[in-house]
Structure formats: structure tokens, C-alpha cells
Amino acid sequence: MKGYYGQFGGRFVPELLSPPLVELEEAMAIFLNQEAFKSELIDLLINYAGRATPLTFCPASSRELGVKLHLKREDLLHTGAHKLNNTLGQALLAQRMGKKKLLAETGAGMHGVATAAAAARLGLEAEIFMGAVDVARQRPNVDRMRLLGAKVIPVTEGTQTLKDAINEAFRHWIAHQADTNYCFGTSAGPHPFPELVAHFQAVISLEARRQFLSQTGNLPDYVVAAVGGGSNAIGMFRHFLEDAEVDIIGVEAAGTGEPGCYNSAPINVGRPGVLHGQLSMLLQDEAGQVLPSHSIAAGLDYPGVGPEHAHLAATGRVRYDLITDDEALDACRFLSIHEGIIPALESSHALAWVIKHAPEIKDRSVLVCLSGRGDKDLGIIQEAMEKRGLTL
Amino acid sequence: MSASTLTTIMENNRRAGRLTRIPFLPAAFPGRDEFWTVLAELAAHGADIIEIGVPFSDPVADGPQVAEASRLALANGGSLDYIFEGLARRRAELPPGLVLMGYVNPFIQYGWTKAAQDLHGREARAVMAASLANLAEKMSQAGVAGLIVPDLPLEESAPWLAALKQHGLDLIALVGPNTDLKKMKAYAACGAGGYVYVVSVLGVTGVREGLPPEVKDTLKRARQAFNLPLALGFGLTSPDQLRSLPSEERPEGAVFGSALIRHLSSGGTVRDFMAPWLA
């Protein structure tokens, strides 16, 4: 079925949003494979965003863990995370479609900053919806967005976090579809967003697969990425899905880890449901009300997940495991000390999987998507360490 | 096939030369018991059809009044079980036609766990079809005639139409200013029934002044595409808004939700609210 990955996906939106989604779908068909579009995007990715990002072997961590650890360095992309791969693509598409404005949701603020930067670069206006709770706890990113010329609109409804920012962005889009594109931040939402975002993020594995082959002569034994909505992970997985010898691991956030705690692990502990336009795995109560999520990594703090991940879990191609807040925090400190790289707490979940499973994967090669840099998390890291009786 | 209850109500009113009045109220709003009192009062003061809102945590098509009322309704325990249990005791004393209006997820989750167990697996779409069959059966038993699902466009509606058809129930189409004639005709052809919910404005629910100028065109296209009565909604506060339309273009029905919620929240009575609509 159109817009589905196996059983999951679809387009569950008000009829009033069907025309702009169809318009976007038609624009994808026209532009994504057009030479002029592709070459302009490639130019932006190389000369503005800083691609290709390096593939870094980690000697000290590898010795310590008894595995061969390699990192795909999306933390070195302009604005500090993989998000810009997608926003540059969507901004360019919006420009080609004759739209004047980009609308976006943001949780931790990384997608908001990446949207604001892409909009500034391509001469578009940006309006960013952000939960009021997130506005308060991610102040530096709010200031970055404003400095980049974007309008930040705090959302005071519901849980006042990412989930409600998305609701408000959809409401806004209904009324402003004529001159505005919704620049969706993750590989989720109504068709065609999951495919559009995966298309632009797939550059991560396109590069990483070539780099790994050229540096080691082989494919990695394991490819690992953290999964919130799932955009860095789908970008990291896409070009390895056909390589049967590569084990692919998605890491969901288990939150504080005690039984019944809030988490961000819909694939492991949720069941299928419809939120934000898609049928996918979802954290919900018996009556189908969406449950609050939690993770120390703001970018993973979301009760749903992209439909392609739900499908890859159902088919068994990708294994989805759990990592707690504490394990992620330890992994963040581990990489900082051993390699001189401060990873984002999101990416730290993927690293923590390697640390936790090192005995099981001894001497094997592992490729981790380091989706973002950890500077944005310093306040959270410091606070979490103090709670555990530690200091920076 | 016998005519839909909802279509019949609106056709009869049209022949009698009057507008069909369709209030919307979220289940368990303003309170668990008050909801049933308000429902009875709406029936006593001229409501022909009542849309009962099934509250959802993430009401993406709703503006502030309905979203806030839904939040309160959820906190009061508003749910499909609450609605069906309440109707089992009261349906006989409620003359209006009844419709449930709510988002996709609470509907498909009604009976999901049991359906998933019965089907021994997680083929999500098969489980969804079984859940919807369960929902349609419960609706039929409770005397509910139709469903309005704001986040269910035509492309996803096939399993819903199949389940509702088994019990002679209607899936009511929502169309708006940006729904072209071709799409409206597709809704008509797929079996949408009861009446057509014509959204007045490119926006969310909420109280608005006047009517946007494009309403006339939307109503005209809907009239051309459907062989069903039309109900106009989103932003209606008073019958005067409809009087601004040429008489031949007026809809058969008017839906009012946000204005009613605002009136009740500020302490107003149902009688006062309904009075202008009865004139």
C-alpha cells in the first residue's frame, strides 16, 4: 500500500492537510532525482554543511572494550548534528516549490536550529514551534534560532514538549499551507515525510559504507544508532539493509530503567497506534491515550517512532535494544575521556550499547552513528552527575 | 438499503423548512454526571443530532476551546467505555440522532488488546480491522448512528467503511475549502454517508466572527459532489452567520462546538445557548 512500510505508516491527517501533503509528494517526484536539484544540494552539503563527515577509528576505546570501534562523525556537521542533512534538502525543495516559509517543530532545539540555518541560507522565513518546557530547558538553542532570524513560538498546551509542538505545527500548517512548507524533523509523521527525511539522511550511510570499506577493506560486523523518532538511525541503516552479513542495532531510550518508568521505547514496550499521522509503535494506555515519554536525551524523548523502524523491528532485520539514562551518561564520559570527543546524550545511547555488549561482540568491528555533539547537553550532564554524587 | 437515520433527520427538517441543529460536546464535559444532564437539556431544547466528542490526548484539528475541554473531559474519565455505559442506561430518553466524533487512535484501540490476542500476533492492520468491527458492534448496540474522524482522510478509510457498513452505520466525510470537486466525488463514491461535514475555514475548530468568503464555493462543490445533506461547522456562533448566505446555498445543518463549550464554561445555560438557533 502507498505510504506504508509493511504494516506501518500511512497518512492519518485531516482532509485539510491532504492537499499540501500531495503537493509535497508531487514535488518529490519532480525534483529529488533532477540533476540540477541534486547538484545544488550536493554543493550545499559539501561547501556549506561540511560533508563528507569523517569516519573515525577509536584506538583507546577499542583496546579498552576489546572491539574495533568506528564512529560516523555527524557531530562535525554544521550546527552540530545530522539534522542539517534533512533541513537543507527540505528547504531547497520548498524553494523550488515557490514556498516562502518553513515551519518546524523542535524538541531539544537541534532540528529548530538546523531549520533556522537552512532557511537563512536559502532566503526563507522560519517559524519554529517548541514546547514551553523545552524553551525553558534548552535556552541556548532558542537563542541560536533567534540569532539565525527564526521566530520561536512556545507551545503551552498538553505536556508542553515535542509531541505538543508537532500538534501545534500541524494546526498552523492547516491555515498557512499556501505559502508554507512543514519541514518535518524526523523520519516519522504522515506520508511522505518518513520517506522524504530518510531520503535526505541516507547520505550518512552512503558515505559511511564507502569509508568503512576503504579504511578496513570490509563491511562492519555491527552498525549501531540511537532511535527516537529515528532519523539518524534510518540514515545510518539505509545502505546497510541489503548487507545480510551486517547486524544492525537500533537503541531505544529506557529512561531511568526501573519497571514501569517513563521511557522512550515504543518498539520494545509500546503497541501499534496512530499519532502524528502515522500508524507505528506507540507509548499509550489501554484506551489509546498517548503516554508521556522520558529520556535524559531530549532528542529521544518522544512517545512514537518512525514507521520504517516499526517495520524493520517486525521483520527482524534490525534488533532494537534498550539503554538507560545512567548507561548513556557513563558512555558519554567514557568517549570524552578516551577519545577527546563529547557525544550528544542521544548518540551516547548507541555508544552505551557497544560498551554494554562488548563481551558478546569481542574482536568484532562496530560502526556507531555519532549523530551529534554533546555541548548542548553540558547543563544536563552536570546536573545528572551531581545527582549521582559526581563532578565534571 | 434503508436510509440512514442521520440523513432522514436532516431531510425531514429540510422539508419542514428548518435548519438541523447539531451541537458538539466532549464526553464527560463539563463533568462526569453533568455531561448527561447537558445532553438531555440539548435534546429538550432543539438539538436534532448530537456529536459526542471522544477525548484524545493529541487533538490536532482542534483549536483552544475544544482542546481544553477535551483535556478536562479526559481528566473526568471521558472514554468510549464511559459513553457506551452511559448510553446503555439513557439512550431511550434521548431522541436526537447520535454521532461519535474523535481521533483515530482511541477508536482503533477499542478492543485492540483482545483482538491482538485472538489473532496471535502483531499484524497491525488485521488487528485494526478486528478492533473496528468490535467498535461498530458497540456503536450499534448503544444507538449511535455514525462516526466523524477528523484525522481519517479518504485514503485510510476503507477498513472503517467496511466495519461500519456491517451495522448500517455512517462514516461522515469532512471536506473543506481546499477539497476539490474530484476529491469530494471520491468521498461520495467510497460510501461516506449520513451527512457531509463541511469545514468553513482553512483552520482548526474555534469561535470566529462572520463566515469566510470561500464557504459559498465549498458548499457549492459539496452540493454537486454528494447526494447527502450538508452540515456546516468550524467557527459557528450564531444563526446570523448562515443568513449571510444566499438561501439556495445554505446548508441543511449547522454544527456548533467551541461556542457551546465557551458558553457552558462561563456558566451559561443550555436553554440560553440554544434560543437563537430555535428562532
Nearest by Cα to B204 from B74, B57, B58, B60:
B60
C-alpha distance from B217 to closest chain A C-alpha (Å)? 15
Mutate to test the interface with A, among B155, B185, B197 (most CBs of A within 10 A): B155
Output the nine-digit C-alpha cell for A222: 555491527
Output the nine-digit C-alpha cell for A85: 542533512
CB spacing of B60 vs A167 below 8 angstroms? yes
pLDDT at B1: 46
ipTM of the shown complex? 0.96
Nearest to B153 among A11, A274, A282 (CB): A11
Give the catalytic positions of B in this structure: 51, 62
**Whether the predicted pLDDT of B99 surpasses 80:** yes
Q: Which of A70, A82, A199, A239 is catalytic?
A: A82
C-alpha distance from B157 to closest chain A C-alpha (Å)? 9
Entry field: residues in chain B: 279
What's the distance, Cα to Cα, between the start and end of chain A in Å? 52
pLDDT in tens, B127-182: 999 999 999 999 999 999 999 999 999 999 999 999 999 999 999 999 999 999 99
Do B106 and B79 contact (CB within 8 A), yes or no?
yes
Residue type, B9: I
Within chain A, all domains assigned CATH 3.40.50.1100 are found at: 4-45+83-198, 52-80+201-387
Domains and CATH numbers, chain B: 5-269 (3.20.20.70)
Q: Could you confirm whether A82 is annotated as catalytic?
A: yes
Distances (CA, A) of A210 to A207, A213, A215: 5, 5, 9
Question: What phi and psi values does residue A346 have, to the nearest 5 degrees?
Answer: -65, -55
Distances (CA, A) of A347 to A64, A74, A374, B215: 19, 10, 9, 50
C-alpha distance from A44 to closest chain B C-alpha (Å)? 34
pTM of structure = 0.97
Report d(CA A13, CA A116) in Å as an integer: 26
What fold does the segment set A52-80+201-387 form as a domain? Answer: Rossmann fold (3.40.50)
Render each residue's pLDDT in chain A as its tens digit; 392 residues.
789 999 999 999 999 999 999 999 999 999 999 999 999 999 999 999 999 999 999 999 999 999 999 999 999 999 999 999 999 999 999 999 999 999 999 998 999 999 999 999 999 999 999 999 999 888 899 999 999 999 999 999 888 889 999 999 999 999 999 999 999 999 999 999 999 999 999 999 999 999 999 999 999 999 999 999 999 999 999 999 999 999 999 999 999 999 889 999 999 999 999 999 999 999 999 999 999 999 999 999 999 999 999 999 999 999 999 999 999 999 999 999 999 999 999 999 999 999 999 999 999 999 999 999 999 999 999 999 999 998 88
The residue that leads in pLDDT, B247 or A332, is: A332
For B121, which residue in chain A has the nearest alpha carbon?
A: A314
Mutate to test the interface with B, among A8, A13, A16, A290 (most CBs of B within 10 A): A16
Quote the longest CA-to-CA distance of chain B: 57
CB spacing of A16 vs B176 below 8 angstroms? yes
| Burial of residue A35 (number of CB atoms within 10 Å: 0-12, 13-18, 19+) | exposed
CB spacing of A158 vs B57 below 8 angstroms? yes
Distances (CA, A) of A222 to A253, B88, B163: 19, 57, 45
For B178, which residue in chain A has the nearest alpha carbon?
A: A16
How far from chain centre, in Å, is Cα B37?
Answer: 19
Report d(CA A386, CA A99) in Å as an integer: 47
For A279, which residue in chain B has the nearest alpha carbon?
A: B124
Nearest by Cα to A307 from A206, A373, A230, A202:
A230
Report d(CA A330, CA A323) in Å as an integer: 11
Report d(CA A49, CA B34) in Å as an integer: 58
State the CATH class of domain A4-45+83-198.
alpha beta
What's the distance, Cα to Cα, between the start and end of chain B in Å? 35
Mutate to test the interface with A, among B81, B85, B104 (most CBs of A within 10 A): B104
